[in-house]
Structure formats: C-alpha cells, structure tokens
Amino acid sequence: LAKTTQPISMDSYEGQEVNITCSHNNIATNDYITWYQQFPSQGPRFIIQGYKTKVTNEVASLFIPADRKSSTLSLPRVSLSDTAVYYCLVGDRGSGNTPLVFGKGTRLSVIA
C-alpha cells in the first residue's frame, strides 16, 4: 500500500474554497486515490475517487497531476457543516469487501 502524507489540520473561513493535498510518492500503477470524510461522532463517508486528471461530483473535485504522486481534494465554498476530518486513501479500486486503510487524516475547521 502506498504511504500517504496529509497536513494534520487546516482552518478556513466560510465561503472559501479549500484545497487539501495528499502526497503519495510511491503510488502503484493500479492504485486509485479515494477520499473519505468523517464528521464528529460518525463513521467515515466516501466522498470521491479518481485515477488521473480531474474528477468532480456534487460534493467535491479531485485533481490528480500526470505523475500521480500527489492529489488535491477541492471543496468549493465551504460552510460550517464541512468541519470534519478528511482522509486520503491510496490502493486498488476497491470493492464492497476491500478493507480500508486510513491514516490520520486532515482535520478541517471552518470558521464563521
């Protein structure tokens, strides 16, 4: 499994765009990048997954450069309810029975 490095914490004001970068220098050819969000007192929730270039859904965008050694989760116009821990996972595409390997994640605090 590729090791990932994320900032421990980030602060942002409401309405700003937040970009959280994850480094994964030894990502393998078959690896995907997956991001999860965890609110206090809840389990993690799948946000987005990508392999290369850019992926966008209703929650976030994921930017992956050509060398795939890093990725950036972008949250547009954050609100207080986006305060959570965000985890970057790198591994195969995964299935319903793939054990998930979490690091410490990035604690995002959104301030009014």
Partner 1 sequence: DAGVTQSPTHLIKTRGQQVTLRCSPKSGHDTVSWYQQALGQGPQFIFQYYEEEERQRGNFPDRFSGHQFPNYSSELNVNALLLGDSALYLCASSFGTGGIKTQYFGPGTRLLVL
Interface with partner 1 by CB under 8 A: which residues? 34, 41-46, 49, 87, 93-105
- For residue 33, with 0-12 CB atoms within 10 Å meaning exposed, 13-18 middle and 19 or more buried, which class applies? buried
How far apart (Å, rounded) are the C-alpha atoms in residues 46 and 37? 7
Give the residue with the Cβ less far from partner 1, 70 or 105. Answer: 105
Smallest distance, partner 1 to C-beta of residue 41, A = 6
Taking the complex as a whole, how short is the minimal distance between the CB of residue 82 and partner 1, in angstroms? 18
User: Looking at beta carbons only, is 47 or 78 nearer to partner 1?
Assistant: 47
Q: How far is the CB of 74 from partner 1 (least distance, A)?
A: 19
Q: Which of 43/112 has CB closer to partner 1?
A: 43
Pair of tokens at residue 112: 């009014």
Decide whether 53 or 57 has the Cβ nearer to partner 1: 57
Cβ neighbour number for residue 10 with a 10 Å cutoff: 16
CA 107/CA 86 separation, integer angstroms: 6
